Amino acid sequence: MVSSSTTENLVVIGSGPAGYTAALYAARANLAPLLITGFQEGGIPGGQLMTTTHVENFPGFPQGILGPELMDRMKAQAVRWGTRLLDADADQLDLSQRPFTIQAQGQTQRTHAVILATGARANRLHLPQEERFWSRGISACAVCDGATPQFRHEPLAVVGGGDSACEEAHALTKYGSHVHLVVRRHKLRASKAMADRVLANDQITIHWEHEVVALQGDDWLAAVELRHHLDGSTTTLPVRGLFYAIGHTPNTGLVQGQLPLDGEGYLVPQQPGQPDTVIPGVFWAGDVADRRWRQAVTAAATGCQAALAAEAWLTEQNLAVTVSRKTPEPESAPTPQKMSPATEETYSPTALWQQGSYALRRLYHESMEPLVVMYTAPGCGPCHVLKPQLRRVVEELAPQIHAVEINIEAEPHIAQQAGVSGTPTIQVFHDKELRCQWRGVKQRRMIRTELEKVLSPDHQQR
Ligand code: NDP
């Protein structure tokens, strides 16, 4: 285990709106915070918004913004002001001694203060094909996604019988042509007032004692199969949207046994509504302690509170070692580069990263080097996470390798030919042969290992 010799002022754990906002405020206070983004535990870096399509309720974006783009912007803003990122999961946190220690990716980080912003993950049913239809008809947030054009005037379904399910079913009647509420028991868990509201709404049909057992559709959800709990009979319900409201699981494994948690695992603040925990120097932000509001904007707000509280505590304890800036204004955040598909005129046989089927065809047939093909889709959060990591590895291995990105929405026939069923998918070709492929996000060192295998002489001779 490698141990860092310095002790951080503040480590923020988690990279959703709560974590990035906390880091932004701490960075602007010259605390140079370290933010551990999280990787696999409890979701992907960027949090729940990375798997959301349009966010239309975050103030400041009158036309709405894609969840992954909003997270890219928050990240860029936090980094611009001096946040340092560690792309890893925090595996262990020891709050029993000071400075606190955090194990992440084989390294020990020591820190005077910690902000826990590890979030919560919406529970899923884990149905067959769930991944395929996630954000393509299935959502865990009706408030965020209900108004999506694909759901307008279409039949929709909500699973669950609690307050969230009832609230969501009620809210969705504004958008859908009809709402089906699928409840596994013979009664609702929701509060009486909420239940009465749903029962009185003739735009909502309750399917008592039913569960969703299968999903149908092509590129978007078209129907769900319901099974009756008692007699086992099945029915097909045509719906374009399926909203999960079956509770959340907070990501509090790191502090189990160290901080008080409630019956469902949510962290219990020292005082309701305050960012402090029972251990001085340990603060919370976002869904990790918020069982009720769970909105991006409320997470960001508590991130701000936690950072201000941490700054005050570090100052009071005389622990803060602030950094000084060379200039009062930091450099501008880099503007995301929009790349266009390569054409006959713009194609380059030596470019490391290009886009589109023209470049793919040329490199596949003409290049002697291994070719990495990344299949992406606009709004695909995991693609946003994977792409910079993959790009960096390709740059490190240059000039022995090339990469091409295919937007499967713009060029579906290419994805179909390649047998790609979802994004991100990576395929690595050499000598016109598929040498390796994977689906989903991988850490940079794992990507490098995969690509180095293809580059190794043994592999190349095959
Ligand atoms: P809850 O845990 O209260 O309810 C979850 C619901 O999902 C239950 O009806 C449960 O069924 C059902 N469920 C769980 N797992 C499955 C499954 N695998 N298949 C089918 N159904 C399943 O969560 P909520 O998010 O609704 O509420 C959390 C808290 O937030 C509550 O305290 C609630 O009161 C509060 N809240 C308040 C609101 C308000 O006041 N406006 C709005 C939203 C939430 P079963 O009942 O059989 O266990």
Average pLDDT over the chain reads: 91
Q: Is pLDDT at 423 greater than 80 in this prediction?
A: no
Q: Can you tell me which residue has the tokens 């039949």? A: 155
Atom nearest to 189 CA in ligand 1: 46
Residue 298 belongs to some domain of the structure: yes
Per-residue pLDDT band at 462 (split at 50, 70, 90)? low
Mutational test site, ligand 1, from 182, 246, 294, 298, max ligand atoms within 8 Å of CB: 246
Q: Is residue 459 pLDDT above 70, yes or no?
A: no
**What gap in Å lies between CA 424 and CA 386, rounded to an integer?**
8
Percentage of the chain exceeding pLDDT 90: 68
- If asked whether residues 360 and 405 sit together in one domain, one would say yes
Residue 328 reports pLDDT greater than 90: no
Do residues 6 and 118 share a domain? yes
Q: Are residues 141 and 178 in the same domain?
A: yes
> In the listed set 210, 244, 278, which residue is the last one of a domain according to the structure?
244
Q: Is the peptide bond before 457 cis (omega within 30 degrees of 0)?
A: no
- Indicate which CATH number applies to the domain containing 135: 3.50.50.60
Backbone angles phi, psi at 155, to 5 degrees: -70, 140
User: Which of 405, 306, 428, 250 lies closest to 20, judged by CA?
Assistant: 306
Structural domain contains residue 60 = yes
How many domains, in total, are found in the chain? 3
Please tell me which residue in 144, 304, 380, 436 is annotated as part of the active site. Answer: 380
Amino acid in the structure at residue 237: L
- 383 classed as catalytic: yes
Dist. CA 64 → ligand 1 center (Å): 28
Tokens of 273: 């509504």
Q: Compute, in angstroms, the gap from residue 159 CA to the centroid of ligand 1.
A: 10
Q: Which of 185, 216, 244 represents a domain boundary (last residue)? A: 244
Taking residues 371-384, report their average pLDDT. 85
Amino acid letter for position 412: P
283 and 221, same structural domain? no
Q: Which atom of ligand 1 is nearest to the CA of 123?
A: 15
Residue owning tokens 């149905």:
127
Q: Which atom of ligand 1 is nearest to the CA of 191?
A: 34
Is residue 27 in some structural domain? yes
From 187, 210, 244, give the residue that closes a domain.
Answer: 244
Question: Are 293 and 239 in the same domain?
Answer: no
Is 12 domain-assigned? yes
The range of the structural domain enclosing residue 379 comes to 353-461
Residues 171 and 236 reside in one and the same domain:
yes
Q: Are residues 258 and 365 in the same domain?
A: no
Nearest alpha carbon, ligand 1 atom 13: 246
CA 202 to chain centre: 36
Number of neighbours of residue 434 by Cβ within 10 angstroms: 12
pLDDT, position 53 = 66
- What is the structure's pLDDT at 136? 86
For the stretch 113-136, pLDDT in tens is 999 999 988 899 999 999 999 878
User: 380 an active-site residue?
Assistant: yes
Q: Are 157 and 186 in contact, with CB atoms under 8 Å apart?
A: no
What is residue 291's predicted lDDT score, i.e. its pLDDT?
85
Helix, coil or strand: residue 399: coil
CATH number at residue 405: 3.40.30.10
Band of residue 372 on the pLDDT scale cut at 50, 70, 90: very high
**Separation CA 354–CA 371 (nearest Å):** 11
- What is the whole-number distance in angstroms between the Cα of residue 134 and the centre of ligand 1? 20
Residue whose CA lies nearest to ligand 1 atom number 23 = 247
Shared-domain flag, residues 187 and 214: yes
Q: What is the rounded distance in angstroms from the CA atom of residue 83 to the CA atom of residue 33?
A: 5
Runs of H (alpha helix) within 243-295: none
Q: Dump pLDDT digits (tens) for 235-248.
A: 999 999 999 999 88
Confidence of residue 331 (pLDDT cuts 50, 70, 90): confident
C-alpha distances (whole Å) from 377 to each of 144, 234, 419, 447 are: 20, 34, 15, 20
- Provide residues with CB under 6 Å of ligand 1: 125, 159-165, 167, 184-185, 189, 211, 245-247, 291-292
User: Residue 381: pLDDT band by 50, 70, 90 thresholds?
Assistant: confident
Pocket test for ligand 1, best of 228, 229, 292, 298 (most atoms within 8 A of CB): 292
* Residue 38 forms part of a structural domain: yes
Q: Which pLDDT tens digit goes with each residue over 1-59?
A: 556 679 999 999 999 999 999 999 999 999 999 999 997 766 678 887 876 667 888 99
